[in-house]
Amino acid sequence: MRKIIVNTFISLDGVMQAPGGPEEDSSGGFELGGWVASYFDEGVGEFMGNVFAAPFELLLGHRTHNIFAAHWPKVAADPPPEGVDESEIQLAKKIDGTTRYVASRTKPEFTWEGSEWLGNDPISRLRAIKASNGPDLLVPGSADFIQTLLKADLIDQFKLLLFPLVLGNGKHLFGSGVIPTAFHVQQAITTNSGVICVTYVRGGSITTGDFSLQRE
């Protein structure tokens, strides 16, 4: 069975909205887009490189798909844009060449070859895809779509990058209605800029205890 892996940037107060730039997602009046830029160091780049190292297909919300479609095909073009390093070109070719499943309330008109609508019942479709043979399914960003995946209990791993800042408002990784689930740490590193890069894998149900003093 294929795994569904969420990969996202997150603030200390759990916000994941618009990490890459001010125009990425300003919904809800969010004004702090681009908050990862000053922390993006070699360690962050290495962790992200490892995320995309294994074969993968993508699960994307409609907004994230449109952001990707406006960027990655241009980087993958021959010749590539000036000033783009070789590692980004290779990543662009992977993203451009893989299947990208897109969740959207209505059927989009795709111009990017390889993008595929999940249909009117995306959860049923995803369960079938997950049960089929193929590479793992990577979910980069896509805050609204992640809520759907969480409520359907479909996420197997989180590859999170925790940034040392508080944003105060914005779309959160974990909203209401999430199914209680335990995870354990598979890998964790801290970069020179203070970003904690951690991989969580499912650990089953939550175990509770009691710290109260025993009464005679």
Report if residue 25 sits inside a domain: yes
The answer to whether 8 touches 140, Cβ cutoff 8 Å, is yes
Q: What is the pLDDT of residue 214?
A: 73
The answer to whether 183 touches 158, Cβ cutoff 8 Å, is yes
Report if residue 104 sits inside a domain: yes
Number of domains in the chain: 1
Q: Which amino acid is at 200?
A: Y
Please state the rounded mean pLDDT for residues 27-43. Answer: 97
Q: What is the pLDDT of residue 74?
A: 96
Report if residue 212 sits inside a domain: no
Q: What is the pLDDT of residue 176?
A: 84
Report if residue 97 sits inside a domain: yes
Report if residue 72 sits inside a domain: yes
Range of the domain at 159: 4-204
Report if residue 31 sits inside a domain: yes
Query: Percentage of the chain with pLDDT > 90?
Result: 93
Measured CA to CA in angstroms, residue 45 lies from 52, 113, 158 at distances of 11, 27, 17
What are the tens digits of pLDDT across the range 178-215? Answer: 899 999 999 999 999 999 999 999 998 899 999 988 76
Report if residue 175 sits inside a domain: yes
What are the tens digits of pLDDT across the range 71-129? Answer: 999 999 999 999 999 999 999 999 999 999 999 999 999 999 999 999 999 999 999 99
What CATH number has the domain bearing residue 111? 3.40.430.10
